[in-house]
Amino acid sequence: MLILKEVFIEAAKEFGIELDDATIQNFENYARFLTEYNEKVNLTAITDPEGITIRHFIDSLTVFSIFNPPQGAKVLDVGTGAGFPGVPIKILRPDISLSLLDSSNKRITFLKELSKLLSINADFIHSRAEESAHDSLMREQFDLVTARAVALLPALCEYCLPFVKQQGAFVAMKGPDIDQEIYEAKKSIETLGGKIETIKNLNLPDGSGRTLILIRKISQTPPKYPRNPSKITKSPIR
């Protein structure tokens, strides 16, 4: 087994998720394909069974501890990389409409092959977030937007909140000890039309800390956002 089955099952239960044998097999196939593909294309530094189970799969499922997408929700995973958390969410919720956005064509190619293997449907967007967020077909179109380990929170909000429809949600997946990031992001969140609804701290089975920030979209994002990356980084919204 390339995943720690019992650890995975017990952790999922804590988020109210029951994993059946077919679902476990899907995640096992995911782990195997990721490990094999990673030998030719560098997708992740985490390839051992414990790391894949905890740092990739269980970490992805923590989204359900703070937000349960409505039936048929449109979900966008920004900077998805090897598909986290978007693909695990889709495996558990086949009803959602999933879009995976990444600036690397190599990662998009991997995700297309992965989706065929797992028999899941998704839209694959080879683009940068600051460009796609100005596309009328994507701007303010999603019920849930996720991002994991992409940027500091003030910048991350500028990249992601423009995609969220009003009353939809953005879940930022961060590490522990981010009080300063949250403080510095407050003006950005307000300007972009969001409001922090929930902050949740939790520990993964290996003891590593996580912080999930649920930001509700309460008003339209001004048209000029997101700006170009240099402005986002050098001149955060204050």
Q: Where are the domains of the chain?
A: 71-234
Beta-ladder partners of 200: 212
CA 149 to chain centroid, in Å, comes to 9
How high does pLDDT run on average in the chain? 96
Report mean pLDDT in 10-residue bins for the chain, 238 residues. 93 92 96 96 94 96 96 98 97 97 97 97 97 97 93 94 98 94 95 98 94 98 96 89
Length of the chain in terms of residues written: 238
CATH 3.40.50.150 fits 71-234, yes or no: yes
Q: Which class for 190: exposed (0-12), middle (13-18), buried (19 or more C-beta within 10 A)?
A: middle
Q: What is the pTM of this model?
A: 0.96
pLDDT digits (tens, 9 = 90+) for 132-172: 999 999 999 999 999 997 789 999 999 999 999 999 999 99
CA atoms within 13 A on the CB side of 124: 20
Cis peptide bond N-terminal to 205, omega within 30: no
Cα 70 from Cα 182, distance rounded (Å): 26
* CA–CA distance, 46 with 107 (Å, rounded to integer): 15
Tell me how far CA of residue 107 lies from CA of 35, 45, 75, 195, 221, in angstroms: 14, 14, 19, 32, 29
